[in-house]
């Protein structure tokens, strides 16, 4: 029996990354609260932090090469 939480589904990962992309000033706690409120899921700030660390790159949409 594993004591680790299950891996988040791809839809949830995409929702967290999109939320962070449009609200760059929000921290993990705020994103977790908003996701919980909007989707009715129980996700913690540490799970959000792990998803952001692995899947979110700052400015990924805005860098199209040298200016």
As for how many domains the chain has, the answer is: 1
* Domain interval for residue 39: 10-55
Specify if 18 maps to a domain. yes
Specify if 3 maps to a domain. no
Specify if 1 maps to a domain. no
pLDDT tens sequence across 10-53: 889 999 999 999 999 999 999 999 999 988 888 899 999 999 99
Specify if 27 maps to a domain. yes
Read off the tokens for 7: 């891996």
pLDDT at 41: 84
Specify if 65 maps to a domain. no
Contact indicator for 19, 55 with CB cutoff of 8 Å: no
pLDDT at 32: 94
* pLDDT exceeds 80 at position 61: no
Specify if 25 maps to a domain. yes
């Amino acid at each position: 029996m594993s004591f680790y939480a299950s891996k988040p589904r791809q839809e949830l990962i995409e929702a967290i990354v999109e939320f962070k992309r449009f609200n760059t000033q929000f921290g993990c706690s705020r994103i977790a609260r908003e996701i919980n409120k909007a989707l009715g899921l129980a996700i913690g700030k540490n799970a959000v932090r792990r998803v952001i660390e692995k899947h979110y790159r700052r400015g990924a949409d805005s860098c199209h090469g040298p200016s």
